[in-house]
Amino acid sequence: MRTWTRTAVWSAALTATLGAVVVVSAAIGPVRIPPAAVVKAVLNAVVVPAGIETTWAGFETLTLPGVGLLTLPDVDLAYASPFAFPVDDVHAQIVVGVRLPRIFMAALVGFALAAAGTVMQGFFRNPMADPSIIGVSSGAAVGAVAFIVFPVALSTSVTLPLLGAVDVGLSYGAGVSLFAFVGALLAAFGVYAIATRHGRTPVATLLLAGVAVQTFLGAVISYLQLQAGESLRRIVAWLMGHLSGAAWSDVAVTGLVVPPLFLVLLVYARDLNVLLLGEEEAQGLGIAVERTKRILLGASALITAAGVAFAGIIGFVGLIVPHMLRLVVGPDHRVLLPTAALAGGSFLVAADTVARAGSTELPVGVVTAAVGAPFFVYLLMRREVHEL
């Protein structure tokens, strides 16, 4: 079977699996909702553009130089749903307004972490590699914890042409995510800068630089925790991974970042296969090694940062899921990368469902570690972890 045919078949199967996991997850909670009602509520929430509505009372009158007074119409798109299934209003609100944002966020974060873990394992030719190996998770933790301990005002007033003064501000949760994202990128590119000499970035040096930076940032996190006071509980919750506060705005931001970066990684899947042969062999086969390494590292760092910024530190997704899929579909990254990413989304949705299904909600990172660590030990005992 051709490579892209295998990719399409496996991806279609795993996409269907992800859809089934999403439906089952949305049905589980304090209020049990039949899966059929979940599907109907989701379909009812789908809207398509149905026309344009224009009103002349929407905008205030503006004064333009050389033109004078100008009243602009308020133009809005009108939307309509092609479906109208009978669904209980309470059930519809629970599914669409409460559970689906969290589920979609889990799917996106699991997708991102598994994709980055697959690339890191291939890049370092090390089955123990995961997205945190270049300091992304530690950098995100420092940024988030620093903001929690020393919150700063993220609001200001900006003067825009025609519109005048506009207040721009971020909520507390958005501030934590923003600082986590920035911290993740600074750490990742700091590791890259330390390991790069004369335009070359040896993999071994990059790995050691990542370990050193992670150790240092771990000490910074410990110091910040000592200064936390009453904020310590929020810090621990963030460090253990969380999805409980996910909103549609968070899903939209993550959804705008993750898919394009994944496409970048997928474009370089063949080059990643060649890099497994060694850098000299890859250079001889026409691969721009250093350029490819920069792109893979940069895209992996960005996609991981996008995930951990909103969800905190969630371990084992980027380590276990690529192993599981490699045993099933083989080491070809053209097949492994999309299948591992889809499986990562399903895995994290299922883990978060377990985390919130009990009488007391658990951090999702606890569930992924509780499932991932024994499974990893099982693989080691079965000697199924091979050199890449």
- Does the pLDDT of residue 137 top 80, yes or no? yes
pLDDT in tens, 151-183: 765 555 555 554 455 444 556 677 888 889 999
Length of the chain: 388
In terms of C-beta distances under 8 Å and separation of at least 24 residues, what long-range contacts does 198-206 make, across chains too?
199/290, 200/290, 201/290, 201/293, 201/294, 201/297, 203/123, 203/124, 203/125, 203/279, 206/124, 206/134, 206/297
Q: Please classify residue 264 by burial: count the beta carbons closer than 10 Å to its beta carbon, then call 0-12 exposed, 13-18 middle and 19+ buried.
A: middle
Note the pTM of the prediction, 2 decimals.
0.87
Greater confidence (361 vs 375) lies with 361
Tell me the two tokens of residue 103: 């589920």
pLDDT of residue 84: 81
Cα–Cα dist 297/179, whole Å: 20
Cα–Cα dist 268/343, whole Å: 20
- How much is the mean pLDDT over the chain? 84
Cα–Cα dist 332/340, whole Å: 11
Greater confidence (53 vs 335) lies with 335
Q: Could you tell me which residues are beta bridge partners of residue 54?
A: 75
**Stretch (H or E) spanning 43:** helix 35-45
Cα–Cα dist 208/32, whole Å: 49
Please, which residues have CB within 8 angstroms of residue 97's CB and are 6 or more apart in sequence? Answer: none
Cα–Cα dist 333/275, whole Å: 11
Q: Could you tell me which residues are beta bridge partners of residue 159?
A: 165
Please, which residues have CB within 8 angstroms of residue 260's CB and are 6 or more apart in sequence? Answer: none
pLDDT in tens, 221-241: 999 998 888 888 889 888 888
